[in-house]
Structure 1
Amino acid sequence: MSLPDLTTYDAVLFDLDGVITPTAEVHMHAWRVMFERLFADWGITPPYTDADYFDHLDGKKRYDGVAALLRSRDVEVPWGEPADAAERDTVCGIGNRKNVVFSQVLADEGIRPYPGTVRLLDLLDAAGVPVAVVSSSKNAQDVLAAAGVRDRFPVVMDGVVAEREHLPSKPAPDVFVEAARTTGVDPARAVAVEDAISGVASAAAGGFGLVVGVDRGAGARALTDAGAHIVVSDLAELADAVRRPLHPHDNPESTEHLR
Protein backbone atom coordinates (compact mmCIF):
# COMPACT_ATOMS: atom_id res chain seq x y z
CA MET A 1 0.00 0.00 0.00
CA SER A 2 1.37 3.41 -0.96
CA LEU A 3 1.66 5.92 1.86
CA PRO A 4 -0.02 9.35 1.69
CA ASP A 5 1.81 12.61 1.10
CA LEU A 6 1.27 14.59 4.32
CA THR A 7 1.99 17.89 2.59
CA THR A 8 -1.49 17.63 0.98
CA TYR A 9 -3.18 18.08 4.38
CA ASP A 10 -3.93 21.35 6.16
CA ALA A 11 -1.90 20.54 9.31
CA VAL A 12 -0.08 17.72 11.07
CA LEU A 13 -0.42 17.26 14.82
CA PHE A 14 2.26 15.17 16.51
CA ASP A 15 2.32 13.34 19.80
CA LEU A 16 5.69 13.89 21.51
CA ASP A 17 6.94 10.82 23.35
CA GLY A 18 7.76 8.07 20.88
CA VAL A 19 6.88 10.21 17.86
CA ILE A 20 9.19 13.24 17.97
CA THR A 21 11.63 12.04 20.61
CA PRO A 22 12.43 8.62 22.13
CA THR A 23 11.28 9.89 25.51
CA ALA A 24 8.87 6.96 25.68
CA GLU A 25 11.91 4.84 26.56
CA VAL A 26 12.85 7.26 29.35
CA HIS A 27 9.25 7.31 30.60
CA MET A 28 9.07 3.51 30.49
CA HIS A 29 12.28 3.24 32.49
CA ALA A 30 11.14 5.82 35.05
CA TRP A 31 7.71 4.19 35.48
CA ARG A 32 9.28 0.75 35.87
CA VAL A 33 11.78 1.90 38.52
CA MET A 34 9.11 3.73 40.49
CA PHE A 35 6.39 1.07 40.34
CA GLU A 36 8.74 -1.84 41.02
CA ARG A 37 9.82 -0.10 44.23
CA LEU A 38 6.22 0.77 45.13
CA PHE A 39 4.89 -2.74 44.47
CA ALA A 40 7.70 -4.26 46.53
CA ASP A 41 7.13 -1.86 49.44
CA TRP A 42 3.35 -2.40 49.42
CA GLY A 43 3.37 -6.13 48.60
CA ILE A 44 1.32 -5.58 45.42
CA THR A 45 0.96 -8.47 42.98
CA PRO A 46 1.20 -9.36 40.17
CA PRO A 47 4.53 -7.62 39.48
CA TYR A 48 4.78 -4.59 37.21
CA THR A 49 5.47 -5.45 33.54
CA ASP A 50 5.97 -3.53 30.29
CA ALA A 51 2.40 -4.51 29.35
CA ASP A 52 1.22 -2.31 32.24
CA TYR A 53 2.89 0.69 30.60
CA PHE A 54 1.08 0.18 27.28
CA ASP A 55 -2.23 -0.80 28.88
CA HIS A 56 -2.51 1.84 31.60
CA LEU A 57 0.12 4.60 31.30
CA ASP A 58 1.10 5.26 27.70
CA GLY A 59 -0.48 8.43 26.30
CA LYS A 60 -2.42 9.38 29.43
CA LYS A 61 -1.97 12.26 31.80
CA ARG A 62 0.39 11.22 34.58
CA TYR A 63 -2.10 11.09 37.44
CA ASP A 64 -4.77 9.37 35.36
CA GLY A 65 -2.21 6.70 34.45
CA VAL A 66 -1.23 6.15 38.09
CA ALA A 67 -4.86 5.75 39.10
CA ALA A 68 -5.58 3.35 36.22
CA LEU A 69 -2.59 1.12 37.00
CA LEU A 70 -3.30 0.98 40.72
CA ARG A 71 -6.95 0.22 39.98
CA SER A 72 -5.82 -2.73 37.83
CA ARG A 73 -4.34 -4.17 41.05
CA ASP A 74 -7.45 -3.33 43.11
CA VAL A 75 -5.53 -0.61 44.94
CA GLU A 76 -7.17 2.71 45.72
CA VAL A 77 -5.38 5.67 47.31
CA PRO A 78 -6.50 9.29 47.81
CA TRP A 79 -6.10 11.50 44.74
CA GLY A 80 -4.28 14.26 46.62
CA GLU A 81 -3.16 17.50 45.01
CA PRO A 82 -0.71 18.23 42.15
CA ALA A 83 1.52 20.00 44.68
CA ASP A 84 1.88 16.82 46.78
CA ALA A 85 5.47 15.91 47.65
CA ALA A 86 6.86 12.84 45.90
CA GLU A 87 6.96 11.01 49.23
CA ARG A 88 3.18 11.21 49.74
CA ASP A 89 1.16 8.05 49.06
CA THR A 90 -1.48 9.74 46.93
CA VAL A 91 -2.13 9.46 43.21
CA CYS A 92 -0.50 12.86 42.70
CA GLY A 93 2.40 12.08 45.05
CA ILE A 94 3.12 8.80 43.25
CA GLY A 95 2.94 10.54 39.87
CA ASN A 96 5.34 13.22 41.10
CA ARG A 97 7.65 10.48 42.41
CA LYS A 98 7.95 9.09 38.91
CA ASN A 99 8.60 12.54 37.52
CA VAL A 100 11.62 12.95 39.80
CA VAL A 101 13.20 9.88 38.16
CA PHE A 102 12.29 11.08 34.67
CA SER A 103 13.69 14.59 35.19
CA GLN A 104 16.97 13.20 36.50
CA VAL A 105 17.44 10.95 33.46
CA LEU A 106 16.58 13.80 31.07
CA ALA A 107 19.05 16.13 32.80
CA ASP A 108 21.81 13.52 32.87
CA GLU A 109 21.45 12.12 29.37
CA GLY A 110 19.55 14.72 27.29
CA ILE A 111 17.40 13.67 24.34
CA ARG A 112 17.68 13.71 20.55
CA PRO A 113 14.73 13.74 18.16
CA TYR A 114 14.18 10.87 15.75
CA PRO A 115 16.02 11.69 12.48
CA GLY A 116 13.04 10.52 10.39
CA THR A 117 10.74 12.87 12.28
CA VAL A 118 13.11 15.81 11.79
CA ARG A 119 13.24 15.08 8.05
CA LEU A 120 9.44 15.02 7.86
CA LEU A 121 9.23 18.27 9.84
CA ASP A 122 11.65 19.88 7.38
CA LEU A 123 9.46 18.83 4.44
CA LEU A 124 6.28 20.06 6.10
CA ASP A 125 7.93 23.37 6.93
CA ALA A 126 9.10 23.78 3.34
CA ALA A 127 5.55 23.07 2.14
CA GLY A 128 4.06 25.59 4.56
CA VAL A 129 2.03 22.96 6.43
CA PRO A 130 1.34 23.99 10.07
CA VAL A 131 2.43 21.58 12.79
CA ALA A 132 1.56 21.25 16.47
CA VAL A 133 2.36 19.03 19.45
CA VAL A 134 -0.39 17.20 21.35
CA SER A 135 1.11 15.53 24.41
CA SER A 136 -0.27 14.36 27.73
CA SER A 137 3.11 15.07 29.34
CA LYS A 138 3.68 17.99 31.68
CA ASN A 139 7.34 17.77 30.66
CA ALA A 140 6.66 18.52 26.99
CA GLN A 141 8.19 22.00 26.96
CA ASP A 142 11.39 20.77 28.65
CA VAL A 143 11.68 17.77 26.34
CA LEU A 144 11.16 19.86 23.18
CA ALA A 145 13.75 22.37 24.40
CA ALA A 146 16.25 19.62 25.29
CA ALA A 147 15.78 18.12 21.83
CA GLY A 148 16.32 21.51 20.15
CA VAL A 149 12.94 21.56 18.36
CA ARG A 150 10.77 23.78 20.58
CA ASP A 151 10.77 26.64 18.06
CA ARG A 152 9.28 24.43 15.34
CA PHE A 153 5.89 24.21 17.08
CA PRO A 154 3.77 27.37 17.50
CA VAL A 155 1.11 25.30 19.29
CA VAL A 156 1.97 22.91 22.13
CA MET A 157 -1.04 21.26 23.74
CA ASP A 158 0.52 19.52 26.74
CA GLY A 159 -0.50 18.23 30.14
CA VAL A 160 -0.09 21.66 31.70
CA VAL A 161 -2.49 23.30 29.23
CA ALA A 162 -4.93 20.38 29.42
CA GLU A 163 -5.09 20.65 33.20
CA ARG A 164 -5.55 24.43 33.07
CA GLU A 165 -8.33 24.12 30.49
CA HIS A 166 -9.91 21.11 32.27
CA LEU A 167 -9.54 18.89 29.20
CA PRO A 168 -9.80 15.13 29.80
CA SER A 169 -6.95 12.74 28.99
CA LYS A 170 -6.58 10.74 25.84
CA PRO A 171 -8.42 8.58 24.71
CA ALA A 172 -11.01 11.39 24.97
CA PRO A 173 -10.73 13.51 21.80
CA ASP A 174 -10.64 16.91 23.54
CA VAL A 175 -6.90 17.63 23.47
CA PHE A 176 -6.54 16.84 19.77
CA VAL A 177 -9.68 18.76 18.84
CA GLU A 178 -8.62 21.80 20.87
CA ALA A 179 -5.11 21.72 19.36
CA ALA A 180 -6.63 21.67 15.87
CA ARG A 181 -8.88 24.61 16.79
CA THR A 182 -5.90 26.56 18.13
CA THR A 183 -3.94 25.77 14.97
CA GLY A 184 -6.88 27.01 12.92
CA VAL A 185 -7.72 23.82 11.03
CA ASP A 186 -10.62 21.41 10.69
CA PRO A 187 -9.65 17.99 12.12
CA ALA A 188 -11.19 16.37 9.03
CA ARG A 189 -8.48 18.07 6.94
CA ALA A 190 -5.63 17.36 9.36
CA VAL A 191 -3.31 14.50 10.30
CA ALA A 192 -2.70 13.14 13.80
CA VAL A 193 0.46 11.13 14.46
CA GLU A 194 0.53 8.89 17.54
CA ASP A 195 2.38 5.89 18.95
CA ALA A 196 0.05 5.24 21.90
CA ILE A 197 -3.16 3.23 21.72
CA SER A 198 -4.96 5.87 23.79
CA GLY A 199 -3.62 8.64 21.55
CA VAL A 200 -4.74 6.91 18.36
CA ALA A 201 -8.19 6.42 19.89
CA SER A 202 -8.26 10.11 20.86
CA ALA A 203 -7.46 11.30 17.33
CA ALA A 204 -9.89 8.84 15.76
CA ALA A 205 -12.67 10.03 18.08
CA GLY A 206 -11.80 13.61 17.14
CA GLY A 207 -12.58 12.93 13.49
CA PHE A 208 -9.09 13.49 12.05
CA GLY A 209 -8.83 12.95 8.32
CA LEU A 210 -5.77 10.76 8.72
CA VAL A 211 -4.64 9.02 11.89
CA VAL A 212 -1.10 7.67 11.67
CA GLY A 213 0.07 5.06 14.14
CA VAL A 214 3.81 4.81 14.79
CA ASP A 215 4.60 1.34 16.10
CA ARG A 216 7.24 1.75 18.81
CA GLY A 217 6.06 -1.31 20.70
CA ALA A 218 2.29 -1.07 21.05
CA GLY A 219 1.82 -3.32 18.00
CA ALA A 220 0.46 -2.54 14.55
CA ARG A 221 -2.73 -4.53 15.13
CA ALA A 222 -3.49 -2.76 18.40
CA LEU A 223 -2.94 0.67 16.80
CA THR A 224 -5.16 -0.25 13.85
CA ASP A 225 -7.86 -1.58 16.16
CA ALA A 226 -7.72 1.72 18.09
CA GLY A 227 -8.44 3.67 14.90
CA ALA A 228 -5.17 4.22 13.00
CA HIS A 229 -5.70 4.45 9.24
CA ILE A 230 -2.08 3.52 8.56
CA VAL A 231 0.79 2.27 10.72
CA VAL A 232 4.50 2.91 10.13
CA SER A 233 7.56 1.96 12.13
CA ASP A 234 9.24 5.35 11.68
CA LEU A 235 8.25 8.71 10.21
CA ALA A 236 11.08 8.40 7.69
CA GLU A 237 8.60 6.25 5.73
CA LEU A 238 6.23 9.22 5.46
CA ALA A 239 9.08 11.58 4.61
CA ASP A 240 9.90 9.27 1.70
CA ALA A 241 6.26 9.49 0.56
CA VAL A 242 6.44 13.28 0.06
CA ARG A 243 6.52 13.65 -3.70
CA ARG A 244 9.37 16.11 -3.68
CA PRO A 245 10.80 18.65 -1.25
CA LEU A 246 9.04 21.97 -1.69
CA HIS A 247 10.68 25.35 -1.47
CA PRO A 248 9.42 28.52 0.25
CA HIS A 249 8.76 30.18 -3.12
CA ASP A 250 6.37 27.42 -4.20
CA ASN A 251 2.72 28.45 -4.28
CA PRO A 252 1.01 26.36 -1.57
CA GLU A 253 -2.35 26.85 -3.34
CA SER A 254 -1.09 25.20 -6.50
CA THR A 255 -1.27 21.44 -6.96
CA GLU A 256 0.96 21.36 -10.01
CA HIS A 257 4.02 20.42 -7.93
CA LEU A 258 2.16 17.40 -6.53
CA ARG A 259 1.52 15.76 -9.91
Structure 2
Amino acid sequence: MIQAFIFDMDGVIIDSEPLHFEVDMETMRYLGTEITKEELERFVGMTNPEMWAVLREERSLPQTVEEIIEYQLAAKIKALRERSYAPIDGIAELLDGLKGRGIPVGIASSSPRSFIEEVVAKFGIAPHFACVVSGEEVDKGKPAPDVYLEAARQLGADPRQCVVLEDSRNGIAAAKAAGMTCIGYVNENSGNQDLSMADRIVRSVRDILVEDL
Protein backbone atom coordinates (compact mmCIF):
# COMPACT_ATOMS: atom_id res chain seq x y z
CA MET A 1 0.00 0.00 0.00
CA ILE A 2 1.22 3.50 -0.80
CA GLN A 3 2.25 5.93 1.96
CA ALA A 4 0.47 9.02 0.61
CA PHE A 5 -1.69 10.33 -2.23
CA ILE A 6 -1.06 13.86 -3.52
CA PHE A 7 -3.49 15.82 -5.66
CA ASP A 8 -2.81 18.61 -8.05
CA MET A 9 -5.82 20.93 -7.80
CA ASP A 10 -6.66 22.88 -10.97
CA GLY A 11 -8.11 20.55 -13.57
CA VAL A 12 -8.06 17.63 -11.10
CA ILE A 13 -10.15 18.59 -8.06
CA ILE A 14 -11.89 21.54 -9.72
CA ASP A 15 -12.45 22.04 -13.42
CA SER A 16 -10.95 25.51 -13.19
CA GLU A 17 -8.70 25.72 -16.23
CA PRO A 18 -11.44 27.46 -18.30
CA LEU A 19 -11.63 30.08 -15.52
CA HIS A 20 -7.85 30.51 -15.56
CA PHE A 21 -7.74 30.83 -19.35
CA GLU A 22 -10.63 33.32 -19.32
CA VAL A 23 -9.17 35.54 -16.60
CA ASP A 24 -5.63 35.37 -17.98
CA MET A 25 -6.89 36.45 -21.42
CA GLU A 26 -8.88 39.27 -19.81
CA THR A 27 -5.83 40.28 -17.77
CA MET A 28 -3.79 40.56 -20.95
CA ARG A 29 -6.48 42.77 -22.49
CA TYR A 30 -6.36 44.92 -19.34
CA LEU A 31 -2.60 45.20 -19.89
CA GLY A 32 -3.20 46.37 -23.47
CA THR A 33 -2.44 43.23 -25.45
CA GLU A 34 -4.05 39.97 -26.54
CA ILE A 35 -3.28 36.31 -25.98
CA THR A 36 -5.08 33.15 -27.08
CA LYS A 37 -6.06 30.11 -25.04
CA GLU A 38 -3.69 28.03 -27.17
CA GLU A 39 -0.80 30.34 -26.31
CA LEU A 40 -1.58 29.93 -22.62
CA GLU A 41 -1.70 26.13 -22.70
CA ARG A 42 2.09 25.83 -22.30
CA PHE A 43 1.80 27.45 -18.88
CA VAL A 44 -0.76 25.03 -17.43
CA GLY A 45 0.68 23.66 -14.19
CA MET A 46 3.15 26.52 -13.72
CA THR A 47 2.99 29.17 -10.99
CA ASN A 48 1.69 32.67 -11.64
CA PRO A 49 5.06 34.37 -10.96
CA GLU A 50 6.84 32.09 -13.42
CA MET A 51 4.17 32.44 -16.10
CA TRP A 52 3.93 36.22 -15.85
CA ALA A 53 7.70 36.65 -15.75
CA VAL A 54 7.88 34.93 -19.14
CA LEU A 55 4.94 36.83 -20.62
CA ARG A 56 6.14 40.16 -19.25
CA GLU A 57 9.47 39.68 -21.00
CA GLU A 58 7.98 38.32 -24.24
CA ARG A 59 5.36 41.09 -24.49
CA SER A 60 7.52 43.89 -22.99
CA LEU A 61 4.84 44.67 -20.41
CA PRO A 62 5.62 47.71 -18.24
CA GLN A 63 3.77 46.45 -15.15
CA THR A 64 5.63 44.44 -12.51
CA VAL A 65 4.85 40.75 -12.06
CA GLU A 66 3.42 41.59 -8.64
CA GLU A 67 1.06 44.21 -10.09
CA ILE A 68 -0.16 41.81 -12.76
CA ILE A 69 -0.79 39.00 -10.27
CA GLU A 70 -2.67 41.31 -7.90
CA TYR A 71 -5.16 42.14 -10.66
CA GLN A 72 -5.36 38.58 -11.98
CA LEU A 73 -5.79 36.84 -8.62
CA ALA A 74 -8.49 39.25 -7.44
CA ALA A 75 -10.45 38.58 -10.64
CA LYS A 76 -10.11 34.80 -10.25
CA ILE A 77 -11.23 34.73 -6.63
CA LYS A 78 -14.19 36.99 -7.44
CA ALA A 79 -15.28 34.67 -10.25
CA LEU A 80 -14.80 31.57 -8.08
CA ARG A 81 -17.00 33.02 -5.35
CA GLU A 82 -19.74 34.14 -7.74
CA ARG A 83 -20.01 31.03 -9.90
CA SER A 84 -21.32 27.56 -9.19
CA TYR A 85 -18.66 24.85 -9.08
CA ALA A 86 -18.57 21.26 -7.86
CA PRO A 87 -15.65 18.88 -7.47
CA ILE A 88 -14.73 16.94 -10.59
CA ASP A 89 -16.76 13.73 -10.85
CA GLY A 90 -15.27 10.99 -8.70
CA ILE A 91 -13.16 13.21 -6.44
CA ALA A 92 -15.47 12.94 -3.41
CA GLU A 93 -15.52 9.15 -3.66
CA LEU A 94 -11.74 8.95 -4.13
CA LEU A 95 -11.17 11.13 -1.05
CA ASP A 96 -13.53 8.96 0.98
CA GLY A 97 -11.78 5.81 -0.22
CA LEU A 98 -8.36 7.14 0.72
CA LYS A 99 -9.65 8.15 4.15
CA GLY A 100 -11.16 4.72 4.65
CA ARG A 101 -7.78 3.13 4.00
CA GLY A 102 -5.97 5.56 6.27
CA ILE A 103 -3.85 6.95 3.44
CA PRO A 104 -2.64 10.52 4.11
CA VAL A 105 -3.69 13.00 1.45
CA GLY A 106 -2.20 16.33 0.36
CA ILE A 107 -2.51 19.02 -2.28
CA ALA A 108 0.48 20.26 -4.27
CA SER A 109 -0.79 23.01 -6.55
CA SER A 110 0.81 25.79 -8.56
CA SER A 111 -2.03 28.13 -7.59
CA PRO A 112 -1.53 30.68 -4.81
CA ARG A 113 -2.49 29.45 -1.34
CA SER A 114 -5.37 31.94 -1.19
CA PHE A 115 -6.96 30.41 -4.30
CA ILE A 116 -6.40 26.83 -3.06
CA GLU A 117 -8.05 27.66 0.25
CA GLU A 118 -11.01 29.26 -1.53
CA VAL A 119 -11.56 26.08 -3.55
CA VAL A 120 -11.35 23.56 -0.69
CA ALA A 121 -13.56 25.79 1.49
CA LYS A 122 -16.14 26.13 -1.31
CA PHE A 123 -16.28 22.35 -1.65
CA GLY A 124 -16.12 21.63 2.09
CA ILE A 125 -13.22 19.21 1.63
CA ALA A 126 -10.48 20.92 3.64
CA PRO A 127 -10.54 18.29 6.45
CA HIS A 128 -9.46 15.60 3.98
CA PHE A 129 -6.04 17.17 3.42
CA ALA A 130 -3.19 16.71 5.87
CA CYS A 131 -1.13 19.27 3.97
CA VAL A 132 -1.52 21.95 1.32
CA VAL A 133 1.52 23.24 -0.55
CA SER A 134 1.47 26.04 -3.11
CA GLY A 135 4.08 26.10 -5.84
CA GLU A 136 4.71 29.72 -4.90
CA GLU A 137 5.95 28.57 -1.48
CA VAL A 138 8.90 26.55 -2.77
CA ASP A 139 12.06 27.58 -4.63
CA LYS A 140 10.94 26.36 -8.04
CA GLY A 141 7.46 25.63 -9.37
CA LYS A 142 6.41 22.79 -11.64
CA PRO A 143 7.93 21.22 -13.74
CA ALA A 144 10.58 21.23 -10.98
CA PRO A 145 9.82 18.61 -8.27
CA ASP A 146 10.00 21.01 -5.29
CA VAL A 147 6.28 21.27 -4.53
CA TYR A 148 5.80 17.50 -4.55
CA LEU A 149 8.89 16.84 -2.46
CA GLU A 150 7.69 19.38 0.10
CA ALA A 151 4.25 17.76 0.21
CA ALA A 152 5.83 14.35 0.79
CA ARG A 153 7.98 15.82 3.57
CA GLN A 154 4.96 17.32 5.29
CA LEU A 155 3.06 14.04 4.95
CA GLY A 156 6.01 12.08 6.36
CA ALA A 157 6.11 9.91 3.25
CA ASP A 158 8.88 8.51 1.06
CA PRO A 159 8.44 10.18 -2.36
CA ARG A 160 8.91 6.79 -3.99
CA GLN A 161 5.82 5.58 -2.11
CA CYS A 162 3.58 8.47 -3.17
CA VAL A 163 0.99 8.57 -5.94
CA VAL A 164 0.12 11.83 -7.68
CA LEU A 165 -2.94 12.78 -9.73
CA GLU A 166 -2.12 15.35 -12.43
CA ASP A 167 -3.68 16.79 -15.59
CA SER A 168 -0.78 18.74 -17.14
CA ARG A 169 2.54 18.09 -18.81
CA ASN A 170 4.35 20.36 -16.35
CA GLY A 171 2.72 18.69 -13.36
CA ILE A 172 3.51 15.17 -14.51
CA ALA A 173 7.13 16.17 -15.15
CA ALA A 174 7.30 17.53 -11.58
CA ALA A 175 5.86 14.36 -10.06
CA LYS A 176 8.19 12.10 -12.01
CA ALA A 177 11.20 14.29 -11.16
CA ALA A 178 10.23 13.80 -7.51
CA GLY A 179 10.40 10.04 -8.01
CA MET A 180 6.66 9.54 -7.56
CA THR A 181 4.13 7.41 -9.38
CA CYS A 182 1.87 9.66 -11.43
CA ILE A 183 -1.62 9.13 -12.78
CA GLY A 184 -2.44 11.43 -15.68
CA TYR A 185 -6.04 12.58 -15.85
CA VAL A 186 -7.31 13.59 -19.28
CA ASN A 187 -9.24 16.83 -18.82
CA GLU A 188 -10.21 18.29 -22.17
CA ASN A 189 -10.64 21.71 -20.54
CA SER A 190 -6.96 21.76 -19.59
CA GLY A 191 -6.01 22.20 -23.22
CA ASN A 192 -3.65 20.16 -25.34
CA GLN A 193 -1.57 18.44 -22.67
CA ASP A 194 1.03 15.74 -23.29
CA LEU A 195 0.43 13.17 -20.53
CA SER A 196 2.74 10.53 -21.98
CA MET A 197 5.19 10.69 -19.06
CA ALA A 198 2.49 9.48 -16.65
CA ASP A 199 2.63 5.92 -15.35
CA ARG A 200 -1.06 5.53 -16.10
CA ILE A 201 -3.63 7.66 -17.90
CA VAL A 202 -7.33 7.80 -16.98
CA ARG A 203 -10.26 9.60 -18.54
CA SER A 204 -12.37 9.44 -15.38
CA VAL A 205 -11.33 9.86 -11.74
CA ARG A 206 -13.74 6.99 -11.04
CA ASP A 207 -11.26 4.69 -12.81
CA ILE A 208 -8.83 5.16 -9.88
CA LEU A 209 -9.50 2.41 -7.34
CA VAL A 210 -7.88 2.85 -3.95
CA GLU A 211 -7.45 -0.88 -3.46
CA ASP A 212 -5.26 -0.99 -6.59
CA LEU A 213 -2.85 1.75 -5.49
Identify whether the pair has TM-score above 0.5, normalized to the shorter chain.
yes
Secondary structure (helix, strand or coil) at the match of 1:59 reads coil
CA distance in 2 between counterparts of 1:206 and 1:36 reads 37
Task: State the 1:61 CA deviation.
Answer: 1.4
Contact kept in structure 1, 2:41 and 2:191, CA below 8 Å:
no
Task: State the 1:235 CA deviation.
Answer: 0.9
Unpaired runs of at least 5, structure 1: 1-7, 79-88, 244-257
CA distance in 2 between counterparts of 1:221 and 1:15 reads 15
Contact kept in structure 2, 1:13 and 1:132, CA below 8 Å:
yes
Aligned residues: 210
Task: State the 1:125 CA deviation.
Answer: 0.9
Letter in 2 for 1:123: G
Q: State the partner residue of 1:211.
A: 182
Say whether 1:48 aligns with 2:35.
Answer: yes
Please give the residue correspondences for 1:118-157 in structure 2 after superposition, counting only pairs within 5 Å: 118-138=92-112, 139-157=115-133
Task: State the 1:96 CA deviation.
Answer: 1.7
CA distance in 1 between counterparts of 2:176 and 2:52 reads 24
CA distance in 2 between counterparts of 1:148 and 1:125 reads 15
Q: State the partner residue of 1:109.
A: 83
Q: State the partner residue of 2:174.
A: 202
Say whether 1:17 aligns with 2:10.
Answer: yes
Please give the residue correspondences for 1:162-241 in structure 2 after superposition, counting only pairs within 5 Å: 162=137, 166-208=138-180, 210-217=181-188, 222-224=194-196, 227-239=197-209
Structure number with greater CO (CA < 8 Å, separation at least 6) is: 2
Q: State the partner residue of 1:4.
A: none
Q: Which 4+ residue blocks in structure 1 deviate beyond 6 angstroms?
A: none
CA distance in 2 between counterparts of 1:213 and 1:76 reads 35
Contact kept in structure 1, 2:168 and 2:193, CA below 8 Å:
no
Unpaired runs of at least 5, structure 2: none
Task: State the 1:75 CA deviation.
Answer: 2.7
Contact kept in structure 2, 1:173 and 1:206, CA below 8 Å:
yes
Contact kept in structure 2, 1:14 and 1:20, CA below 8 Å:
yes
Question: Which protein is bigger by CA-based radius of gyration?
Answer: 1
CA distance in 1 between counterparts of 2:193 and 2:47 reads 24
Letter in 1 for 2:2: Y
Secondary structure (helix, strand or coil) at the match of 1:13 reads strand
Encode CA deviations 1:45-70: one digit per residue, 9 max, x unaligned: xx4122222202x1111121112234
TM-score, normalised on structure 1?
A: 0.74
Q: Specify which of 38, 49, 64 is matched with residue 63 of structure 1.
A: 49
Q: CA RMSD in A?
A: 2.1
CA distance in 2 between counterparts of 1:220 and 1:30 reads 19
Secondary structure (helix, strand or coil) at the match of 1:115 reads coil
